[in-house]
Amino acid sequence: MEFFFEVLIGGLLAGVMYALVAIGFVLIYKASGVFNFAQGAMVLFSVLTFVSLLERGVPFWLAFLISLAAMLLIAVAVERVVLRPLVNRSPITLFMATLGLSYVIEGFAQALWGAQVHGLDLGISDEPLELGGMLLSQFDIFAALTAASLVALLSWLFNKTRLGLALRAVADDPLAALAVGIRLQRVWVVVWTVAGFVGLVAGLLWGARLGVQFSLSLVVLKALPVLIIGGFTSISGAIVGGLIIGASEKLAEVYLGPIIGSGIENWFPYGLALLFLLVRPAGLFGERAIERV
């Protein structure tokens, strides 16, 4: 029984990481109305920048700020060059544009920083911690705590500050927000900065775990099932979705794996998301689209 809990908690901890990644997507979706497939590539780029700066002896916090700034610059360029011209098009068109964008950024990142894997040491040991008879990874716990505090910070930001109110207004109805004097550009910059921050932290945690390499940009493929389950517009949904995907993925791998075969974590989240969609087409927390004929 303890083993089950060990796996479960391990999965939940991983799920917190997924949630963190998904939150970045939710923020962008709320601000720009697009599922930004290039998010992974952008995070990868900023993490690569961070790591390369570290390797050249730049102090941690400076490197962090510079990477964040790089991410923001890219975001601004993306909005100007890609999103604005496509402003009224279907979500599928926007998605395909972000697909193209991810190719551009990936190619650029690889051209700039090279294709080798960079190690990232955040100074947290990976020795297992024993808690109540279960072995848990110290690193996982640290990551989960970081993610949880970020989420708490974001909730405070969105719900208790004026800025958060403006963000929610813009997400709900940009035109109406404009009409009451909210500066769309500013709000937009804030959202992308926050998303960039969240993305960078998530990227650093992932990178420390897996090594900074190109599979990092594939983290976006993990975010999609989370968003499907949790809804594209809800941060709490992203958290719940992340936890569900993380836990079920680990449990499936451990318990179903021996029966069906290893490596099912690739498609299992998608299968789960599919089942969810069939039951609740708008996700757990998402908004139902009503079609007026």
Comparison of 155 and 215: residue with beta carbon closer to another protein: 215
Nearest approach, Cβ of residue 283 and another protein (Å)? 9
Binding site for another protein (CB under 8 A): 35, 81-82, 85-86, 89, 91-93, 95-97, 99-108, 110-111, 115, 221, 224-225, 228, 260-264, 266-267, 270-271, 273-274, 277-278, 281, 291-293
Q: How far is the CB of 245 from another protein (least distance, A)?
A: 12
- Least separation, in Å, of the C-beta of 21 and another protein? 17
DSSP states of the chain: -HHHHHHHHHHHHHHHHHHHHHHHHHHHHHHHSS--TTHHHHHHHHHHHHHHHHHTT--HHHHHHHHHHHHHHHHHHHIIIIITTTTTS-HHHHHHHHHHHHHHHHHHHHHHH-SS-B----S----EEEETTEEEEHHHHHHHHHHHHHHHHHHHHHHHSHHHHHHHHHHH-HHHHHHTT--HHHHHHHHHHHHHHHHHHHHHHHHHHH-BSGGGGGHHHHHHHHHHHH-TT-HHHHHHHHHHHHHHHHHIIIIIHHHH-S-GGGTHHHHHHHHHHHH-TT-SSPPPP----
Smaller CB distance to another protein: residue 150 or 228? 228
Of 185 and 262, CB closest to another protein? 262
Question: Measured from the CB atom, is 201 or 250 closer to another protein?
Answer: 250
Minimum distance between the CB of residue 168 and another protein, rounded to whole angstroms?
A: 23
If the CB atoms of residues 35 and 206 are measured against another protein, the closer one turns out to be 35
Q: Which is nearer to another protein, 156 or 267 (CB)?
A: 267
Q: How far apart are CA 120 and CA 104, in angstroms?
A: 24
Smallest distance, another protein to C-beta of residue 252, A:
12
Using the minimum distance from each CB to another protein, give the nearer residue, 97 or 239. Answer: 97
Q: How far is the CB of 121 from another protein (least distance, A)?
A: 27
As measured in angstroms, the least distance from the Cβ of 234 to another protein is 15
Backbone angles phi, psi at 95, to 5 degrees: -60, -45
**Angstrom distance (rounded) from CA 182 to CA 276:** 36
